[in-house]
Amino acid sequence: MIKKAIQHNLVPIIGISPISLDNQRKELDIPLEIRTKLGKRCSFKDSNIKNVFKTIALDIAHFKVPYLCLATEINFLALGNLKEFLRFVKLYKNIYKEVKKISQKTRIFVSFQWDVQYLIDTKELEKVKEHSKIFEIFKPQLDFIALTSYPINFFRNPIDIPRDYYISIDKHIDHSDKVLFLEIGCPTRGLGSEESQVAFVKRLPILLRNLNLIGIDWALLHDVNIPEFDEDLRSLGLFTDDGKEKLGFESFNNLKKYDHSY
């Protein structure tokens, strides 16, 4: 897949995640054979679990990938199981150093779910500085800040998204920190429509202004028919599952004309 990406002038970003997609990402997502072998509740305090995760990460590093994500939306784990989150951070920093020995140019990071973080910040203004620790704890072993965002869960109309929605990340990071949107999107069914997807895309230059932005990765190119996904997740694509171009594709493709200063 890495070779195919390069052949098509795409930049491959490889990601693995230690936490499950369901149950609000509060539980570890351990390979079934390992879970069965241990026969007990899985935790990063277990050397078996740590070694398996580290081995997978180092195996990927040997492919000399340009970008390697070692956890997706990891702030969910901090919210649901702080002790396990701290164990993961310690392991992450160890893996970071080992990956760099194998592939110095690989950029290593984790991603944070921004919509939930923004909501928490809004509700607990007096604790924003404390919330910043979730980001700071990974530094300096964090090559940039990666975010995921699906704001339609909180703002049905894209015009209602506050202008400072994304730039308020500056409350938690240095303005010089590079920011990557590893996942961003708006569905065309469920909570959304093709019109709202277009409206969200066209609003992005305003919402992303003044960020030290290095990239925006739309969540899905095509819709998917995965039973475990709800209607929103299944319809995030800029194309339908049978390859029909949606209205949002042209709008997203036009973002290339904007520079990073927005």
Tell me, yes or no, whether 105 and 118 share the same domain: no
Tokens of 150: 């699906």
CA 55 to centroid of chain Cα atoms:
22
Does 220 share its domain with 102? no
Q: What is the CATH number of the domain that holds 133?
A: 3.20.20.80
**Over the stretch 96-148, which tens digit does the pLDDT of each residue have?**
999 999 999 999 999 999 999 999 999 999 999 999 999 999 999 999 999 99
Give a yes or no: residue 187 inside a domain.
Answer: yes
Counted domains in the chain: 2
- Same domain for 122 and 230, yes or no, is yes
Same-domain check for residues 163 and 101: no
CA–CA distances in Å: residue 192 to residues 85, 189, 251? 33, 5, 16
Q: Please check whether residues 155 and 97 belong to one and the same domain.
A: no
User: Do residues 29 and 57 share a domain?
Assistant: yes
Residue 76 lies in a domain: no
Q: What is the pLDDT of residue 169?
A: 96
Q: Is residue 45 part of a domain?
A: yes
pLDDT of residue 256: 76
Tell me whether residue 125 is in a domain. yes
Residues 95 and 138 in one domain: no
**Looking at residue 23, what is its pLDDT?**
64
pTM as predicted: 0.93
Same domain, 95 and 142: no
Together in a domain, 37 and 163: no
Structural domain span for residue 255: 111-262
Question: With a cut of 50, which residues of the chain have pLDDT below it?
Answer: 260-262
Q: Is 97 contained in some domain? A: yes
In this prediction, residue 40 carries a pLDDT of 66
User: Would you say residue 241 lies in a domain?
Assistant: yes
Query: Is there a domain that residue 19 lies in?
Result: yes
Co-location of 152 and 102 in the same domain? no
Q: Do 153 and 47 belong to one domain?
A: no
Are 254 and 131 found together in one domain? yes
Does a structural domain hold residue 34? yes
